[in-house]
Amino acid sequence: MNNLRRIDTNLLVTLHALLLEKHISRAAIRLHKSQPAVSHALAHLRTIFNDPLLIRRGKHLELSLKASSLLSPLTEALEGLDSLLEAPVFVPAESKRAFRLAMSDYGAWLVLPELVRRLRTEAPGISLLVTQASREVMMAQANEGEVDIALGVFPGLDSKTLRCQALFEERFISVADASTLPASGTLSLTEWLDRPHVVVTHPSVSEQEIESALHALGLERKRQITLPHWRVANDLIAGSDLILTVASRNLISLNPALCIFEPPLAIKPFSFRQLWHLRRDTDPAHQWLRQQIENIASASKTSF
């Protein structure tokens, strides 16, 4: 207990921001403090913990081993103090909070435009920092408190510390230039395999489900164009013989030159989810934000 006399709550809050941001200027913005004040606090914290905490690697700062071990317990401790000192009341219009969200460009396109509009209208003091990573990394970030909510496909999730909510079920469709399809507007499996494909391979998106369906049949498709961005993939199809197979909501807005059709093999649908740590379960602001995301995602439908 005597060690607590060496450090005050403000320093702990500053340390938490530094561990999350790994950047002095961003931590200062997060805390609404000046950069020199945060730099001075970091120097004091290094003395207290007898550790560098943040180590420069080229142009970036990385957490020391000691700092990494502090992040999770410090997050829990500060949230525990919040629950002691503040009544669990959330008023969106008055809230000053920063939330860190992790999602692919698929999730961002579906959720962010409407979410940002709602925040600017109902909770203008709430800010967002959005990052992108693989499914595994997003799960780890949520578990370690580095992100507040992760959006994506998290199959086989089995965790005692993470909470997960299904937002909608998604299926796959294929799309091609209408002029390259037969009168039936569809292709047989042999024809589909013979055509060149655009393949989106970022590890946070759903390409894994397509490959699993092919491998189960001992098949491979012709990968003509491979890229990590699904939005630009949609624009590569018109005027070519390429085929793109994607989650249906990717094509809510469809170029009239294109034609959609059911893939000629069974591809397992997937559940699009939001994921968070159980320690944030009862946070009123967090609950409100999750509800907004749920409402927006559930309203995203296709006519295909």
What is the C-alpha separation between 194 and 222, in angstroms, rounded? 7
Query: Which CATH architecture best describes the domain 93-165+272-298?
Result: 3-Layer(aba) Sandwich (3.40)
The answer to whether 127 and 99 have CB atoms below 8 angstroms apart is yes
What is the C-alpha separation between 129 and 143, in angstroms, rounded? 17
Query: Which CATH architecture best describes the domain 2-85?
Result: Orthogonal Bundle (1.10)
What's the pLDDT at 5?
Answer: 55
**Residue among 67, 88, 56, 65 at smallest CA distance from 17:** 67
What's the pLDDT at 98?
Answer: 92
CB burial of residue 233 (10 Å; 0-12, 13-18, 19+):
buried
- Taking CA 234 as the corner, what is the angle to CA 301 and CA 230, rounded to the nearest 5 degrees? 80
So where are the chain's domains? 2-85, 93-165+272-298, 172-268
Render pLDDT for 7-29 as a digit per residue (tens, 0 to 9). Answer: 677 888 898 999 999 999 888 88
- Tell me yes or no: is domain 172-268 CATH 3.40.50.2000: no
Q: Which residues of the chain have pLDDT under 50?
A: 1-2
What is the C-alpha separation between 113 and 121, in angstroms, rounded? 13
What are the DSSP calls for 94-159, one per residue? G---EEEEE--HHHHHHHHHHHHHHHHHH-TT-EEEEE---HHHHHHHHHHTS-SEEEE--TT---
What's the pLDDT at 203?
Answer: 58
Q: Which two tokens stand for residue 203?
A: 């590890």
What's the pLDDT at 2?
Answer: 46
Render pLDDT for 89-106 as a digit per residue (tens, 0 to 9). Answer: 789 999 999 999 999 888
3-state secondary structure of 199: strand
What's the pLDDT at 209?
Answer: 82
What is the C-alpha separation between 198 and 224, in angstroms, rounded? 6
What's the pLDDT at 3?
Answer: 54
**Residue among 181, 296, 304, 199 at smallest CA distance from 246:** 199
What is the C-alpha separation between 263 and 119, in angstroms, rounded? 38
What is the C-alpha separation between 245 and 143, in angstroms, rounded? 32
What's the pLDDT at 155?
Answer: 77
What's the pLDDT at 1?
Answer: 42
Same fold, 2-85 and 172-268: no
